[in-house]
Structure 1
Amino acid sequence: MKKRMYRFFIDYEKEERWVNDMADRGWNLKKTVVGYFVFEKGTPGQYIYRNEFINRKSKDYFEFLDEMHIECVSKFGGWAYYRKSKSEG
């Protein structure tokens, strides 16, 4: 089951909190593009999400994320959403 929602945030921290609140209710982020979010039904509280401005990040930084089992969910412009299993911290 998928849920598509339109929300526009000026404050990226507020946006991140909202995405994590959705995840706590069992809606895992699958894709996002400015103001448009696609969630998929999953296990409540399975993931922790973070959004980050990734322009000018080095290759080493992305390798570090891979080593830490941090998955890139969606990228648009200079922003990306990452997630990690909540059980791993």
Structure 2
Amino acid sequence: MTKKVFKFITVDNVEKEEAFLEEMANQGWFFSKYASLRYHFEQGEPAEYTYCIDYKEEAGDEEEYLALFEDAGWEHVYAYPILSGKWMYFRKAVKEGAPKEAIFTDDASMVVLWKTIRSRWTWFGGSAILMLIVVGIATLLASVYLIGSIFTFAVALFLIVLYGKMYIRITRKIKLRS
């Protein structure tokens, strides 16, 4: 049996996403993919897993990258392509009495990850916001109806707030680990 769950988690909340996937596994729902703004799960026996998410830039070394994780005992679950890279989802069964494992064991590697994410998403968000503002102005100048422009500016404002929040949170995470 499969289950689809809509859950809006932004890139600055990777830890929240990992915790969500772990809780679903505890309930017997195992993450299989992310598509159409939904998490897809397969039902099984409840089990305790640690999920970890990484952002892998396209570099042509994916086989070696995946082999490195496999050698460390991580199972590659899914790769979600976006912004010239992929969100890579891994999981590992939790051994009873053992501490929770993580793929990032030092602050320096986490800082590199957060800087990459901040750079990619700031560029993407800024471009989208600029495009919406230009479309809003063009709609305003070319139309006697204000509703289209108001809607476009409202979406742009929403994105400014959303991407501003993500930028600030990621910057704080970088400063905490630097």
TM-score range, shorter chain: 0.7 to 0.9
Instruction: Judging by fraction of residues, say which structure has more helix.
Output: 2
Check whether the contact 1:23–1:48 (CA below 8 A) recurs between aligned residues.
Answer: no
Distance in 1 between residues matched to 2:65 and 2:42, nearest whole Å: 28
AA aligned opposite 2:67: E
Larger Rg: 2
Task: Tell me which stretches of 4 or more aligned residues in structure 1 moved more than 3 Å.
Answer: 56-61
| Cα separation, 2, equivalents of 1:7 and 1:56 | 26
Task: Give the unaligned 5+ runs of structure 1.
Answer: none
| Paired amino acid for 1:70 | W
Question: Hey, which of these two has a bigger chunk of strand by percent?
Answer: 1
* Identical amino acids, percent of aligned pairs: 28
TM-score (norm 2): 0.44
Higher relative contact order (CA 8 A, sep 6+): 1
- Number of residue pairs matched by the alignment: 89
Deviates more, 1:63-72 or 1:22-31: 63-72
Task: Say if 1:72 and 1:34 are closer, same or farther in 2 by CA, change over 3 A.
Answer: farther
Provide the C-alpha distance between the structure 2 equivalents of 1:30 and 1:61, rounded to a whole number of angstroms.
Answer: 20
| Residue 64 (1) aligns with residue 68 (2) | yes
CA 1:34–1:68 in structure 2 vs 1: closer, same or farther (change >3 Å)?
farther
